[in-house]
């Protein structure tokens, strides 16, 4: 399955300035595993070194948070669009 | 005054200040924006000093950046420069300390991190490996987080003997190695853990050491600022002597040793852990010139009464020059310098985000 990950502007320098990257994967977790090889700087901003999604990162499949689906096991259909969202809970003043 | 670069880690990024001759300080724009920079370092063993910034984005996690053009650009490797290996079930929270090793090991750099661990680089600080001798120490599971986190916040390499090194962690205390990091022993004899029952206040480990400092030419001479208590050792941590007599309070975070005067140290006392503001609400450095026998307040050029800010554990440094520049940054976002061993102070910068870490170097 080919899935497209859509990046917020702040992460685009990690993939050469692209707004989106495509990867072949059957699940969300597999897509991130592929990212670790293709774009390691991007992948480690989404997951820590033990593979846990960072606390203030949200991944939306279409308009649904994968936390409300099957998490990393969420299956991707061909042409799926996975949005990377910095949660409003993050940040520092 | 010679040319100096001052690397300032703040809660919202890193700033480089430059000083040429007798001119004003010049501040570069904030970089690594919206990252908390708890640990900065300057490796002066290179022709062009390599700068380091341990930066943690609240969203995107921690990393360690380096700069080989004095802060104009910052880089990190493709793979995580500092990461716990598989099988540890542990993830990096932040880099607290960046410390180049002795000149005898020109490509070795250490970082201290949260959760409690030490990492070693042999490629000049680009990639790091876990120091397993300390991570596998049987005490590790009994170390607890201090208020700032479970951090290994101080690394003191021996200036001439690469096999010897000290680290300090909150709250675990001081540990030292004499075999290059393969094995570690606690070195806290005489340091009090005031919060324990009265008959248990001098444990083998578990003290909340806030900062440890040594003199570059007399490495057996150490100073420590604790969570209550200021201490001195003249035997590389075999034993510690309380040197808080004459201080207005014994709580604080930074402690700095003068690079030329082995008996001179500087601290920024706070009233107490329940009142983390300066005594009498005055911005004052306290200095000893006799290894803690006497202390004197220094405030010429510093803000007047009604001061409520604080200096964090890595918020004080020296440029190592002769004469030495002394620097400290505050949680108000101010940075001050003294060029006369603390007798008087001048403002370098203000209105920065709160200062978490600071390092300085004299450059050609």
pLDDT recorded at residue B124 = 97
Contact B61 A40 (CB under 8 A): no
A66 backbone φψ class: left, alpha, beta (φ>0; ψ -120 to 50) = alpha
Q: Report which of B131, B138, B170 is spatially closest to residue B154, judged by C-alpha positions.
A: B170
Tokens standing for residue A86: 């910095």
List residues bridging with A61 in a β-sheet: A64, A82
| Residue B140 burial class via C-beta count within 10 angstroms: exposed 0-12, middle 13-18, buried 19 and up | middle
Cβ–Cβ below 8 Å for A54 and B60: yes
Cβ atoms B213, B257 nearer than 8 A:
yes
**Which value does ipTM take for this structure?**
0.94
Q: In the sheet where B326-329 sits, what is the strand order? A: B316-318, B326-329, B335-338, B346-349
CA distance to partner chain A, nearest, from residue B241 (Å): 40
Question: Is residue B330 helix, strand or coil?
Answer: coil
B109-125 CB burial, b ≥16 within 10 A, e <16: bbbbbbbbbbbbbeebb
Nearest by CB to residue B59, choosing from A44, A50, A90, is: A90
The SS3 assignment for B302 reads: coil
- Check A41 against B76: CB less than 8 A apart: yes
Which pLDDT tens digit goes with each residue over B159-176?
Answer: 999 999 999 999 999 999
Spatial CB neighbours of B20, under 8 Å, sequence gap ≥ 6:
B3, B26
Q: What is the pLDDT of residues B77-111, one digit of tens each?
A: 999 999 999 999 999 999 999 999 999 999 999 99
Q: Is A71 on the interface with B (CB under 8 A)?
A: no
**pLDDT-above-70 percentage for chain B:** 99
Give the tokens for residue B196: 């324990």
Q: Which two tokens stand for residue B31?
A: 């970089």
| Integer Cα distance of B351 and B364 in angstroms | 29
A13 touches chain B (CB under 8 A): no
Max CA distance (Å), chain B? 57
Q: Are A72 and A59 in contact (CB under 8 A)?
A: no
Flag whether pLDDT at B2 surpasses 70: no
B344 φ, ψ (degrees, to nearest 5): -145, 155
pLDDT of residue A93: 73
Contact criterion met (CB below 8 Å) for B297 and B306: no
B52-68 mean pLDDT: 97
pLDDT score, position B216: 87
> Which residues, other chains included, contact B290 with Cβ-Cβ below 8 Å and sequence gap of 6+?
B263
Over chain B, what is the mean pLDDT? 96
User: B89: nearest CA in chain A?
Assistant: A50
Per-residue pLDDT averaged across B250-255, rounded?
Answer: 97
Q: DSSP letters of B8-70?
A: EEETTEEEEEEE-TTS--EEPPPBSTT-EEEEEEEETTSSSPEEEEEEEETTTEEEEEEESST
List residues bridging with B359 in a β-sheet: B7
Q: What is the pLDDT of residue B147?
A: 87
Mean pLDDT within B25-48:
96
Q: Please enumerate in sequence order all residues whose Cβ is within 8 A of that of B43, keeping only pairs 6 or more positions apart, or say none.
A: B49, B50, B51, B52, B100, B109, B124, B125
**Smallest Cβ distance to A50: which of B11, B59, B89?**
B89
Give the C-alpha separation, B171 to B130, whole Å: 20
**What integer pLDDT is reported at residue B128 of this predicted model?**
98
Select from A41, A50, A90 the Cβ nearest to the Cβ of B78: A41
What confidence tens digit (pLDDT) does each residue in B195-224 have?
899 999 999 999 999 999 999 899 999 999
Q: What is the mean pLDDT of residues B125-148?
A: 96
For residue A50, list chain B residues with Cβ-Cβ distance below 8 A.
84, 89-91
Q: What is the pLDDT of residue B153?
A: 98
Whether the per-residue pLDDT at A15 is higher than 80: the answer is yes
Contact A54 B61 (CB under 8 A): yes
């Amino acid at each position: 399955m080919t899935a497209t990950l859509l990046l917020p502007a702040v992460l685009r320098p990690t993939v050469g300035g692209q707004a989106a990257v495509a990867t072949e994967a059957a699940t969300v977790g597999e897509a991130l595993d592929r990212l670790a090889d293709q774009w390691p700087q991007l992948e480690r901003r989404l997951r820590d070194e033990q593979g846990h999604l960072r606390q203030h990162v949200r991944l939306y499949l279409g308009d649904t948070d994968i936390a409300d689906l099957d998490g990393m096991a969420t299956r991707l259909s061909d042409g799926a669009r996975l949005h990377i969202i910095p949660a409003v809970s993050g940040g520092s003043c | 005054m010679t040319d100096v670069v001052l690397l300032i880690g703040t809660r919202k990024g890193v700033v480089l200040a430059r000083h040429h001759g007798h001119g004003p300080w010049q501040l570069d724009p904030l970089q690594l924006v919206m990252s908390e920079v708890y640990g900065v370092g300057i490796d002066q063993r290179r022709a062009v000093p390599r700068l380091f910034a341990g930066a943690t984005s609240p969203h995107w996690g921690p990393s360690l950046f380096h700069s080989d053009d004095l802060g104009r650009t910052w880089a990190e490797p493709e793979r995580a420069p500092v990461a716990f290996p598989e099988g540890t079930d542990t993830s990096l929270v932040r880099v607290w300390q960046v410390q180049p090793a002795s000149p005898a090991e020109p490509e070795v750099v250490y970082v201290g991190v949260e959760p409690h661990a030490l990492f070693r680089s042999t490629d000049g600080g680009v990639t790091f490996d876990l120091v397993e001798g300390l991570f596998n120490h049987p005490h590790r599971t009994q170390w607890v987080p201090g208020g700032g986190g479970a951090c290994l916040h101080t690394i003191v390499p021996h200036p001439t003997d690469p096999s010897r090194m000290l680290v300090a962690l909150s709250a675990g205390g001081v540990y030292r190695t004499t075999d290059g990091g393969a094995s570690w022993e606690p070195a806290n004899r005489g340091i009090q853990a005031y919060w324990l029952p009265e008959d248990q206040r001098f444990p083998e480990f578990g003290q909340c050491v806030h900062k440890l400092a040594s003199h570059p030419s007399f490495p057996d001479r150490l100073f420590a600022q604790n969570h209550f208590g200021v201490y001195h050792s003249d035997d590389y941590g075999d034993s510690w002597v309380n040197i808080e007599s004459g201080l207005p309070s014994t709580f604080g975070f930074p402690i700095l040793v003068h690079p030329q005067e082995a008996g001179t140290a500087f601290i920024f006392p706070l009233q107490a852990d329940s009142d983390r503001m300066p005594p009498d609400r005055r911005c004052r450095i306290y200095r000893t010139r006799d290894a803690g026998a006497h202390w004197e307040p220094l405030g010429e050029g510093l803000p007047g009464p009604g001061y409520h800010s604080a200096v964090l554990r890595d918020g004080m440094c020296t440029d190592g020059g002769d004469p030495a520049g002394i620097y400290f940054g505050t949680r108000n976002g101010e940075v001050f310098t003294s060029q006369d061993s603390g007798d008087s102070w001048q403002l370098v910068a203000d209105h920065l985000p709160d200062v978490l870490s600071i390092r300085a170097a004299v450059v050609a």
